[in-house]
Structure 1
Amino acid sequence: MKVLFTILSLFCLLCSCKESEKEKIARLVREWDGKEISFPSHSVFTIQGKDTIDFSFADAEYKIVTYVDSVGCTSCKLQLPRWKEFMHEVDSLAQGKVPFVFYFHPKDVKELRYITRRDAFTYPVCFDEKDDFNALNRFPGEMTFQSFLLNRENKVIAIGNPVYNPKVKELYLQRLTNGKMPSSAVAMTDVSVNTANMDFGTFPQSEKQEYKFVLTNEGNNLLVIQDVTTSCGCTKVSYSKEPVRPGASLELTVTYEAEEKGHFNKMITVYCNTKASPLRLMIAGNAK
Protein backbone atom coordinates (compact mmCIF):
# COMPACT_ATOMS: atom_id res chain seq x y z
CA MET A 1 0.00 0.00 0.00
CA LYS A 2 2.84 2.38 0.87
CA VAL A 3 4.56 1.78 -2.47
CA LEU A 4 1.28 2.25 -4.33
CA PHE A 5 0.57 5.45 -2.43
CA THR A 6 4.00 6.83 -3.22
CA ILE A 7 3.48 6.10 -6.91
CA LEU A 8 0.12 7.86 -6.81
CA SER A 9 1.68 10.83 -5.03
CA LEU A 10 4.39 11.11 -7.63
CA PHE A 11 1.91 10.84 -10.49
CA CYS A 12 -0.40 13.52 -9.11
CA LEU A 13 2.43 15.92 -8.47
CA LEU A 14 4.52 15.27 -11.56
CA CYS A 15 1.83 15.23 -14.20
CA SER A 16 1.40 18.99 -13.97
CA CYS A 17 5.05 20.07 -13.77
CA LYS A 18 7.76 21.03 -16.19
CA GLU A 19 10.62 18.60 -16.82
CA SER A 20 13.03 20.75 -14.78
CA GLU A 21 10.83 20.45 -11.68
CA LYS A 22 10.26 16.69 -11.73
CA GLU A 23 13.50 15.64 -10.07
CA LYS A 24 13.03 18.12 -7.25
CA ILE A 25 9.47 16.97 -6.59
CA ALA A 26 10.47 13.32 -6.72
CA ARG A 27 13.23 14.00 -4.20
CA LEU A 28 10.86 15.81 -1.84
CA VAL A 29 8.33 12.98 -2.01
CA ARG A 30 11.07 10.44 -1.25
CA GLU A 31 12.45 12.53 1.62
CA TRP A 32 9.12 13.16 3.32
CA ASP A 33 7.19 9.95 2.64
CA GLY A 34 6.83 8.23 6.02
CA LYS A 35 8.75 10.95 7.88
CA GLU A 36 7.44 11.75 11.35
CA ILE A 37 6.43 15.36 11.98
CA SER A 38 7.39 16.72 15.42
CA PHE A 39 5.25 19.28 17.23
CA PRO A 40 6.47 21.84 19.79
CA SER A 41 5.66 20.80 23.35
CA HIS A 42 4.07 24.12 24.26
CA SER A 43 2.03 25.32 21.28
CA VAL A 44 -0.65 27.92 22.00
CA PHE A 45 -3.66 27.86 19.69
CA THR A 46 -6.00 30.83 19.49
CA ILE A 47 -9.03 32.03 17.56
CA GLN A 48 -7.98 35.01 15.46
CA GLY A 49 -5.01 35.60 17.76
CA LYS A 50 -7.19 36.50 20.76
CA ASP A 51 -9.01 33.70 22.54
CA THR A 52 -6.81 30.79 23.64
CA ILE A 53 -8.40 27.41 23.04
CA ASP A 54 -7.64 23.87 24.22
CA PHE A 55 -6.90 22.21 20.87
CA SER A 56 -5.96 18.53 20.86
CA PHE A 57 -5.30 16.41 17.77
CA ALA A 58 -3.01 13.67 19.12
CA ASP A 59 -5.52 10.81 18.91
CA ALA A 60 -6.89 11.55 15.44
CA GLU A 61 -6.50 8.80 12.84
CA TYR A 62 -5.58 11.42 10.25
CA LYS A 63 -4.67 15.09 10.46
CA ILE A 64 -3.89 17.75 7.88
CA VAL A 65 -1.01 20.02 8.86
CA THR A 66 -0.03 23.32 7.29
CA TYR A 67 2.94 25.56 8.01
CA VAL A 68 3.15 29.08 6.58
CA ASP A 69 6.44 30.96 6.79
CA SER A 70 6.93 34.71 7.03
CA VAL A 71 8.37 35.21 3.54
CA GLY A 72 6.42 37.28 1.02
CA CYS A 73 2.76 38.29 0.98
CA THR A 74 1.03 36.78 4.02
CA SER A 75 -2.49 37.16 2.64
CA CYS A 76 -1.47 35.52 -0.64
CA LYS A 77 0.07 32.54 1.13
CA LEU A 78 -2.73 31.91 3.62
CA GLN A 79 -5.64 31.62 1.16
CA LEU A 80 -7.98 31.20 4.14
CA PRO A 81 -11.25 31.29 2.14
CA ARG A 82 -10.01 28.34 0.05
CA TRP A 83 -8.96 26.48 3.17
CA LYS A 84 -12.44 26.98 4.62
CA GLU A 85 -13.98 25.44 1.50
CA PHE A 86 -11.65 22.45 1.67
CA MET A 87 -12.21 22.00 5.40
CA HIS A 88 -15.97 21.94 4.87
CA GLU A 89 -15.57 19.28 2.18
CA VAL A 90 -13.35 17.13 4.40
CA ASP A 91 -15.71 17.52 7.37
CA SER A 92 -18.62 16.36 5.21
CA LEU A 93 -16.74 13.24 4.10
CA ALA A 94 -15.09 12.40 7.43
CA GLN A 95 -17.85 13.51 9.83
CA GLY A 96 -15.58 16.17 11.32
CA LYS A 97 -13.00 13.61 12.54
CA VAL A 98 -10.00 15.04 10.65
CA PRO A 99 -8.41 17.99 12.48
CA PHE A 100 -6.61 20.75 10.61
CA VAL A 101 -3.44 21.92 12.33
CA PHE A 102 -2.27 25.41 11.33
CA TYR A 103 1.10 26.86 12.32
CA PHE A 104 1.68 30.39 11.03
CA HIS A 105 5.05 32.10 11.51
CA PRO A 106 4.04 35.77 11.23
CA LYS A 107 6.24 38.63 10.18
CA ASP A 108 3.55 40.92 11.59
CA VAL A 109 1.17 39.55 14.24
CA LYS A 110 -1.23 42.47 13.85
CA GLU A 111 -1.51 41.81 10.12
CA LEU A 112 -2.18 38.13 10.73
CA ARG A 113 -4.90 38.93 13.26
CA TYR A 114 -6.46 41.32 10.77
CA ILE A 115 -6.43 38.72 7.96
CA THR A 116 -8.06 36.02 10.12
CA ARG A 117 -10.78 38.49 11.16
CA ARG A 118 -11.26 39.79 7.61
CA ASP A 119 -11.69 36.26 6.26
CA ALA A 120 -13.87 35.20 9.21
CA PHE A 121 -11.47 32.34 9.96
CA THR A 122 -12.55 30.98 13.33
CA TYR A 123 -10.53 27.75 13.39
CA PRO A 124 -7.69 27.33 15.94
CA VAL A 125 -4.33 28.64 14.72
CA CYS A 126 -0.90 28.71 16.35
CA PHE A 127 0.85 32.06 15.84
CA ASP A 128 4.35 30.59 15.99
CA GLU A 129 6.35 33.79 16.47
CA LYS A 130 9.62 31.99 17.27
CA ASP A 131 9.20 29.57 14.34
CA ASP A 132 9.57 26.56 16.67
CA PHE A 133 7.58 24.24 14.42
CA ASN A 134 9.89 24.79 11.47
CA ALA A 135 12.98 24.57 13.69
CA LEU A 136 11.93 21.05 14.69
CA ASN A 137 11.19 19.82 11.17
CA ARG A 138 13.03 21.99 8.62
CA PHE A 139 10.21 22.17 6.13
CA PRO A 140 10.81 22.69 2.38
CA GLY A 141 11.11 26.33 1.38
CA GLU A 142 8.42 26.09 -1.31
CA MET A 143 4.94 27.03 -0.10
CA THR A 144 3.35 24.18 -2.07
CA PHE A 145 5.31 21.62 -0.02
CA GLN A 146 4.54 22.95 3.45
CA SER A 147 1.27 21.03 3.84
CA PHE A 148 0.99 17.39 4.85
CA LEU A 149 -1.50 14.60 5.44
CA LEU A 150 -0.41 12.65 8.54
CA ASN A 151 -1.52 9.36 10.06
CA ARG A 152 -2.09 8.64 13.76
CA GLU A 153 1.67 8.32 14.35
CA ASN A 154 2.23 11.77 12.78
CA LYS A 155 3.97 10.22 9.79
CA VAL A 156 3.62 11.81 6.35
CA ILE A 157 1.39 9.89 3.95
CA ALA A 158 0.97 12.76 1.46
CA ILE A 159 2.73 16.04 0.80
CA GLY A 160 1.41 19.03 -1.13
CA ASN A 161 -1.00 21.91 -0.70
CA PRO A 162 -4.58 20.77 -1.45
CA VAL A 163 -5.96 24.29 -1.85
CA TYR A 164 -3.47 25.12 -4.61
CA ASN A 165 -3.54 21.89 -6.62
CA PRO A 166 -6.75 19.94 -7.34
CA LYS A 167 -4.75 16.77 -8.01
CA VAL A 168 -3.25 16.94 -4.52
CA LYS A 169 -6.70 17.67 -3.12
CA GLU A 170 -8.09 14.57 -4.82
CA LEU A 171 -5.18 12.54 -3.48
CA TYR A 172 -5.94 13.68 0.09
CA LEU A 173 -9.64 12.88 -0.27
CA GLN A 174 -8.91 9.48 -1.76
CA ARG A 175 -6.66 8.64 1.18
CA LEU A 176 -9.12 9.94 3.78
CA THR A 177 -11.94 7.85 2.30
CA ASN A 178 -9.79 4.74 1.74
CA GLY A 179 -10.14 5.09 -2.02
CA LYS A 180 -13.92 5.48 -1.99
CA MET A 181 -13.88 9.03 -3.32
CA PRO A 182 -14.80 8.91 -7.03
CA SER A 183 -11.95 9.97 -9.30
CA SER A 184 -12.43 13.21 -11.23
CA ALA A 185 -10.35 11.99 -14.16
CA VAL A 186 -11.64 13.10 -17.56
CA ALA A 187 -10.47 12.58 -21.14
CA MET A 188 -7.56 14.81 -22.14
CA THR A 189 -7.68 17.54 -24.75
CA ASP A 190 -5.46 20.35 -26.07
CA VAL A 191 -5.73 24.06 -25.36
CA SER A 192 -4.27 27.29 -26.69
CA VAL A 193 -4.21 30.70 -24.97
CA ASN A 194 -4.29 34.07 -26.71
CA THR A 195 -1.39 35.19 -24.50
CA ALA A 196 0.27 33.99 -21.32
CA ASN A 197 1.44 37.45 -20.24
CA MET A 198 -0.42 40.72 -19.85
CA ASP A 199 1.26 44.00 -18.86
CA PHE A 200 -1.10 46.76 -17.74
CA GLY A 201 1.67 49.33 -17.87
CA THR A 202 1.54 52.28 -15.47
CA PHE A 203 -1.82 53.22 -13.95
CA PRO A 204 -3.23 55.01 -10.88
CA GLN A 205 -3.43 52.72 -7.85
CA SER A 206 -7.13 53.50 -7.42
CA GLU A 207 -8.00 52.18 -10.90
CA LYS A 208 -9.13 48.56 -11.18
CA GLN A 209 -7.46 46.68 -14.05
CA GLU A 210 -9.15 43.94 -16.07
CA TYR A 211 -8.11 41.58 -18.84
CA LYS A 212 -9.71 38.59 -20.54
CA PHE A 213 -7.48 35.62 -21.26
CA VAL A 214 -9.01 33.46 -24.00
CA LEU A 215 -8.61 29.68 -23.83
CA THR A 216 -9.51 27.72 -26.97
CA ASN A 217 -10.18 24.00 -26.99
CA GLU A 218 -7.93 22.65 -29.78
CA GLY A 219 -8.58 18.97 -29.07
CA ASN A 220 -11.34 16.44 -29.66
CA ASN A 221 -12.72 16.20 -26.10
CA LEU A 222 -14.44 18.66 -23.79
CA LEU A 223 -12.16 21.16 -22.05
CA VAL A 224 -12.84 21.16 -18.30
CA ILE A 225 -11.46 23.86 -16.02
CA GLN A 226 -10.90 22.02 -12.73
CA ASP A 227 -9.65 24.95 -10.70
CA VAL A 228 -8.08 28.39 -10.97
CA THR A 229 -5.83 29.82 -8.27
CA THR A 230 -4.08 33.19 -7.94
CA SER A 231 -0.88 34.17 -6.18
CA CYS A 232 -2.52 37.07 -4.38
CA GLY A 233 -5.88 38.04 -2.93
CA CYS A 234 -5.79 41.27 -4.94
CA THR A 235 -6.23 39.21 -8.13
CA LYS A 236 -9.70 37.83 -8.88
CA VAL A 237 -10.74 35.49 -11.69
CA SER A 238 -14.21 34.76 -13.04
CA TYR A 239 -15.16 32.26 -15.74
CA SER A 240 -17.92 29.93 -16.86
CA LYS A 241 -17.88 26.51 -15.16
CA GLU A 242 -19.42 24.84 -18.22
CA PRO A 243 -17.19 22.44 -20.22
CA VAL A 244 -15.90 23.90 -23.49
CA ARG A 245 -16.70 22.06 -26.73
CA PRO A 246 -13.93 21.28 -29.26
CA GLY A 247 -13.19 24.39 -31.28
CA ALA A 248 -14.94 26.71 -28.80
CA SER A 249 -13.35 29.22 -26.44
CA LEU A 250 -13.61 30.30 -22.82
CA GLU A 251 -12.81 33.69 -21.31
CA LEU A 252 -11.01 34.00 -17.98
CA THR A 253 -11.72 37.52 -16.74
CA VAL A 254 -8.87 38.61 -14.46
CA THR A 255 -9.36 41.66 -12.25
CA TYR A 256 -6.53 43.29 -10.34
CA GLU A 257 -6.98 45.86 -7.56
CA ALA A 258 -3.65 47.18 -6.25
CA GLU A 259 -3.40 47.12 -2.47
CA GLU A 260 -0.24 49.23 -2.58
CA LYS A 261 1.85 51.25 -5.00
CA GLY A 262 4.69 49.81 -7.03
CA HIS A 263 5.55 47.22 -9.65
CA PHE A 264 3.87 43.83 -9.47
CA ASN A 265 3.94 40.43 -11.12
CA LYS A 266 1.06 38.09 -10.31
CA MET A 267 0.41 34.53 -11.43
CA ILE A 268 -2.89 32.88 -12.32
CA THR A 269 -2.68 29.08 -12.34
CA VAL A 270 -5.26 27.19 -14.40
CA TYR A 271 -5.79 23.46 -13.80
CA CYS A 272 -7.53 21.69 -16.67
CA ASN A 273 -7.64 18.36 -18.51
CA THR A 274 -4.64 18.99 -20.78
CA LYS A 275 -1.08 17.69 -20.83
CA ALA A 276 0.14 21.27 -20.39
CA SER A 277 -1.80 21.69 -17.12
CA PRO A 278 -1.40 23.71 -15.07
CA LEU A 279 -1.36 26.72 -17.35
CA ARG A 280 0.45 29.66 -15.78
CA LEU A 281 -0.74 33.11 -16.84
CA MET A 282 1.00 36.30 -15.70
CA ILE A 283 -0.17 39.87 -15.22
CA ALA A 284 2.21 42.72 -14.50
CA GLY A 285 2.16 46.48 -14.17
CA ASN A 286 3.06 49.51 -12.10
CA ALA A 287 0.49 51.05 -9.75
CA LYS A 288 1.20 54.71 -8.96
Structure 2
Amino acid sequence: MKHLVSLFNNSLLLICMSIIFSACNSRKERIEKQINILYSNKIDIPSSKMEVIVYDSMYLHKKPNYRVLVYLDSTECTPCYVSHYHEWEYILKECRKYEPSISLAIIIETKNLSEDVKEKFLAPTFDRTILIDKNGVFRKRNPFFPESQIMHVLLLDKEGRVILVGNPLSNKKVEELLYSKLRNS
Protein backbone atom coordinates (compact mmCIF):
# COMPACT_ATOMS: atom_id res chain seq x y z
CA MET A 1 0.00 0.00 0.00
CA LYS A 2 2.88 2.37 0.88
CA HIS A 3 4.35 1.69 -2.52
CA LEU A 4 1.07 2.60 -4.25
CA VAL A 5 0.76 5.85 -2.28
CA SER A 6 4.35 6.76 -3.12
CA LEU A 7 3.77 5.94 -6.79
CA PHE A 8 0.58 8.01 -6.79
CA ASN A 9 2.37 11.01 -5.16
CA ASN A 10 5.23 10.80 -7.66
CA SER A 11 2.79 10.59 -10.57
CA LEU A 12 0.84 13.55 -9.23
CA LEU A 13 4.08 15.54 -8.86
CA LEU A 14 5.08 14.74 -12.44
CA ILE A 15 1.67 15.79 -13.75
CA CYS A 16 1.82 19.10 -11.83
CA MET A 17 5.36 19.81 -13.07
CA SER A 18 4.31 19.04 -16.65
CA ILE A 19 1.42 21.49 -16.40
CA ILE A 20 3.68 24.21 -14.96
CA PHE A 21 6.35 23.71 -17.63
CA SER A 22 3.82 23.68 -20.45
CA ALA A 23 2.23 26.87 -19.09
CA CYS A 24 5.66 28.54 -18.98
CA ASN A 25 6.46 27.37 -22.51
CA SER A 26 3.05 28.53 -23.70
CA ARG A 27 3.59 32.02 -22.22
CA LYS A 28 7.09 32.20 -23.69
CA GLU A 29 5.81 31.13 -27.11
CA ARG A 30 3.00 33.71 -26.92
CA ILE A 31 5.48 36.50 -26.09
CA GLU A 32 7.84 35.40 -28.88
CA LYS A 33 4.93 35.41 -31.33
CA GLN A 34 3.90 38.94 -30.28
CA ILE A 35 7.47 40.19 -30.60
CA ASN A 36 7.76 38.65 -34.07
CA ILE A 37 4.52 40.37 -35.08
CA LEU A 38 5.97 43.70 -33.87
CA TYR A 39 9.16 43.13 -35.87
CA SER A 40 7.16 42.36 -39.01
CA ASN A 41 5.05 45.55 -38.90
CA LYS A 42 5.66 49.27 -39.05
CA ILE A 43 4.46 51.39 -36.15
CA ASP A 44 2.35 54.38 -37.15
CA ILE A 45 2.33 57.30 -34.70
CA PRO A 46 -0.67 59.46 -35.68
CA SER A 47 0.55 62.49 -33.72
CA SER A 48 -1.76 64.89 -35.59
CA LYS A 49 -4.73 63.03 -34.09
CA MET A 50 -3.48 63.34 -30.50
CA GLU A 51 -3.16 66.15 -27.99
CA VAL A 52 0.40 67.40 -27.78
CA ILE A 53 1.83 68.29 -24.38
CA VAL A 54 5.34 68.96 -25.67
CA TYR A 55 7.20 68.34 -28.93
CA ASP A 56 10.84 67.38 -29.20
CA SER A 57 12.45 69.93 -31.54
CA MET A 58 13.91 67.08 -33.62
CA TYR A 59 10.49 65.41 -33.91
CA LEU A 60 8.95 68.67 -35.07
CA HIS A 61 11.54 69.83 -37.62
CA LYS A 62 12.88 66.64 -39.16
CA LYS A 63 12.37 62.94 -38.90
CA PRO A 64 15.00 61.47 -36.55
CA ASN A 65 16.90 58.35 -37.60
CA TYR A 66 15.61 56.55 -34.51
CA ARG A 67 12.81 57.02 -32.04
CA VAL A 68 12.30 55.44 -28.65
CA LEU A 69 8.56 54.96 -28.28
CA VAL A 70 7.04 54.57 -24.83
CA TYR A 71 3.36 53.66 -24.75
CA LEU A 72 1.35 54.02 -21.55
CA ASP A 73 -2.20 52.75 -21.63
CA SER A 74 -5.00 53.24 -19.14
CA THR A 75 -3.96 50.14 -17.18
CA GLU A 76 -0.61 51.67 -16.29
CA CYS A 77 -0.08 54.14 -13.47
CA THR A 78 0.81 57.37 -15.27
CA PRO A 79 1.61 59.34 -12.08
CA CYS A 80 3.89 56.45 -11.01
CA TYR A 81 5.60 56.58 -14.40
CA VAL A 82 6.35 60.28 -13.97
CA SER A 83 8.49 59.44 -10.94
CA HIS A 84 10.89 57.55 -13.28
CA TYR A 85 10.83 60.24 -15.90
CA HIS A 86 14.32 61.56 -15.09
CA GLU A 87 15.73 58.13 -15.99
CA TRP A 88 14.64 58.68 -19.60
CA GLU A 89 16.72 61.84 -19.65
CA TYR A 90 19.80 59.77 -18.79
CA ILE A 91 18.95 57.03 -21.33
CA LEU A 92 18.39 59.60 -24.09
CA LYS A 93 21.66 61.37 -23.27
CA GLU A 94 23.53 58.05 -23.49
CA CYS A 95 21.77 57.15 -26.75
CA ARG A 96 22.80 60.44 -28.32
CA LYS A 97 26.46 59.59 -27.69
CA TYR A 98 26.06 56.86 -30.32
CA GLU A 99 23.31 58.36 -32.48
CA PRO A 100 22.59 62.08 -32.24
CA SER A 101 19.46 61.75 -34.40
CA ILE A 102 17.23 59.98 -31.87
CA SER A 103 14.08 61.17 -30.17
CA LEU A 104 11.86 60.02 -27.35
CA ALA A 105 8.10 59.87 -27.88
CA ILE A 106 5.75 59.04 -25.04
CA ILE A 107 2.15 58.24 -25.89
CA ILE A 108 -0.30 58.25 -23.00
CA GLU A 109 -3.65 56.65 -23.80
CA THR A 110 -6.18 58.16 -21.44
CA LYS A 111 -9.47 60.01 -21.64
CA ASN A 112 -8.39 62.46 -18.99
CA LEU A 113 -4.93 63.41 -17.70
CA SER A 114 -4.89 65.63 -14.65
CA GLU A 115 -3.23 69.03 -14.86
CA ASP A 116 -0.97 67.96 -12.00
CA VAL A 117 0.41 65.03 -14.01
CA LYS A 118 0.74 67.21 -17.14
CA GLU A 119 2.79 69.70 -15.10
CA LYS A 120 5.09 66.90 -13.93
CA PHE A 121 5.66 65.82 -17.54
CA LEU A 122 6.51 69.41 -18.47
CA ALA A 123 9.00 69.93 -15.62
CA PRO A 124 12.09 68.21 -17.12
CA THR A 125 14.01 70.24 -19.65
CA PHE A 126 15.28 67.50 -21.97
CA ASP A 127 13.87 67.05 -25.48
CA ARG A 128 10.98 64.63 -25.75
CA THR A 129 7.57 64.40 -27.35
CA ILE A 130 4.55 63.67 -25.20
CA LEU A 131 1.23 62.88 -26.81
CA ILE A 132 -2.14 62.23 -25.19
CA ASP A 133 -4.25 59.69 -27.07
CA LYS A 134 -7.79 60.37 -25.86
CA ASN A 135 -9.52 58.33 -28.56
CA GLY A 136 -7.29 55.27 -28.84
CA VAL A 137 -6.08 56.19 -32.33
CA PHE A 138 -2.64 54.66 -31.75
CA ARG A 139 -4.15 51.22 -31.12
CA LYS A 140 -6.57 51.64 -34.05
CA ARG A 141 -3.66 52.41 -36.39
CA ASN A 142 -1.58 49.59 -34.89
CA PRO A 143 -4.06 46.76 -34.16
CA PHE A 144 -1.19 44.27 -33.80
CA PHE A 145 0.27 46.23 -30.87
CA PRO A 146 0.42 43.90 -27.85
CA GLU A 147 -1.53 44.30 -24.62
CA SER A 148 1.45 43.19 -22.54
CA GLN A 149 3.21 46.12 -20.88
CA ILE A 150 6.60 44.43 -21.24
CA MET A 151 6.37 45.24 -24.96
CA HIS A 152 5.30 48.88 -24.63
CA VAL A 153 8.77 50.35 -25.13
CA LEU A 154 10.23 50.11 -28.63
CA LEU A 155 13.18 51.40 -30.60
CA LEU A 156 11.96 52.37 -34.07
CA ASP A 157 13.93 53.30 -37.15
CA LYS A 158 13.12 56.27 -39.39
CA GLU A 159 10.48 54.26 -41.24
CA GLY A 160 8.72 53.06 -38.07
CA ARG A 161 10.14 49.53 -38.18
CA VAL A 162 10.77 47.94 -34.79
CA ILE A 163 14.47 47.50 -34.05
CA LEU A 164 14.25 46.56 -30.36
CA VAL A 165 11.49 45.60 -27.92
CA GLY A 166 11.87 46.11 -24.18
CA ASN A 167 12.25 48.70 -21.47
CA PRO A 168 15.83 49.81 -20.77
CA LEU A 169 14.71 51.34 -17.47
CA SER A 170 13.70 47.98 -16.05
CA ASN A 171 16.12 45.65 -17.83
CA LYS A 172 19.88 46.28 -17.96
CA LYS A 173 20.32 43.82 -20.86
CA VAL A 174 17.79 45.78 -22.94
CA GLU A 175 19.64 49.00 -22.07
CA GLU A 176 22.93 47.47 -23.26
CA LEU A 177 21.24 46.17 -26.43
CA LEU A 178 19.82 49.63 -27.09
CA TYR A 179 23.26 51.24 -26.94
CA SER A 180 24.75 48.42 -29.01
CA LYS A 181 22.12 48.77 -31.76
CA LEU A 182 22.76 52.53 -31.95
CA ARG A 183 26.54 52.16 -31.78
CA ASN A 184 26.51 49.67 -34.65
CA SER A 185 24.07 51.58 -36.85
What is the TM-score with the length of structure 2 in the denominator?
A: 0.71
Residue identity matched to 2:28? K
Name the SS for the 1:173 alignment partner.
Answer: helix
Is the 1:33–1:157 contact (alpha carbons within 8 Å) kept by the matching residues of 2?
Answer: yes
Quote the residue 1:85 is aligned against: 90
Is the 1:57–1:99 contact (alpha carbons within 8 Å) kept by the matching residues of 2?
Answer: no
Is the 2:154–2:166 contact (alpha carbons within 8 Å) kept by the matching residues of 1?
Answer: yes
Name the SS for the 1:56 alignment partner.
Answer: helix
Quote the residue 1:108 is aligned against: 112
**Partners in 2 of 1:121 and 1:59 — Cα distance?**
18
**Within 5 A, what are the aligned runs for 1:125-274?**
125-138=130-143, 139-178=145-184
Residue 107 to residue 165, structure 1, CA distance change in 2 (3 Å): farther
Is the 2:56–2:127 contact (alpha carbons within 8 Å) kept by the matching residues of 1?
Answer: no
**Which structure exhibits the higher relative contact order, with contacts defined as CA atoms closer than 8 Å and separated by 6 or more residues?**
2
CA deviation profile, 1:87-109 (whole Å, cap 9, x unmatched):
12112332x31111221113532
Residue 54 to residue 91, structure 1, CA distance change in 2 (3 Å): closer
**Partners in 2 of 1:33 and 1:61 — Cα distance?**
17
Instruction: Give the fraction of aligned pairs with identical amino acids, expressed as a percent.
Output: 24
Residue 34 to residue 81, structure 1, CA distance change in 2 (3 Å): same
- Greater than 4 Å deviation, 4+ residue runs: 51-54, 117-122
2:69 to 62, 65, 86: 65
> What is the aligned length?
158
**Partners in 2 of 1:37 and 1:54 — Cα distance?**
18
- Structure 1 residue 163 displacement after superposition: 1.4
**Partners in 2 of 1:116 and 1:57 — Cα distance?**
21
Quote the residue 2:38 is aligned against: 32
Quote the residue 2:53 is aligned against: 46
CA deviation profile, 1:224-282 (whole Å, cap 9, x unmatched):
xxxxxxxxxxxxxxxxxxxxxxxxxxxxxxxxxxxxxxxxxxxxxxxxxxxxxxxxxxx
Is the 2:67–2:102 contact (alpha carbons within 8 Å) kept by the matching residues of 1?
Answer: yes
Is the 2:46–2:138 contact (alpha carbons within 8 Å) kept by the matching residues of 1?
Answer: yes
Quote the residue 1:99 is aligned against: 103
Is the 2:58–2:103 contact (alpha carbons within 8 Å) kept by the matching residues of 1?
Answer: no
Which ranges in structure 1 are unaligned for 5 or more consecutive residues? 1-17, 180-288
Query: By percentage of residues, which structure has more strand?
Result: 1
- Structure 1 residue 77 displacement after superposition: 3.8
Name the SS for the 1:154 alignment partner.
Answer: coil
- Structure 1 residue 121 displacement after superposition: 6.7
**Larger Rg belongs to:** 2
Residue identity matched to 1:46? I
**Cα root mean square deviation, aligned:** 2.9
Is the 1:161–1:168 contact (alpha carbons within 8 Å) kept by the matching residues of 2?
Answer: yes
- Structure 1 residue 123 displacement after superposition: 2.9
**Partners in 2 of 1:57 and 1:161 — Cα distance?**
27
Is the 2:65–2:102 contact (alpha carbons within 8 Å) kept by the matching residues of 1?
Answer: yes
What is the TM-score with the length of structure 1 in the denominator?
A: 0.48
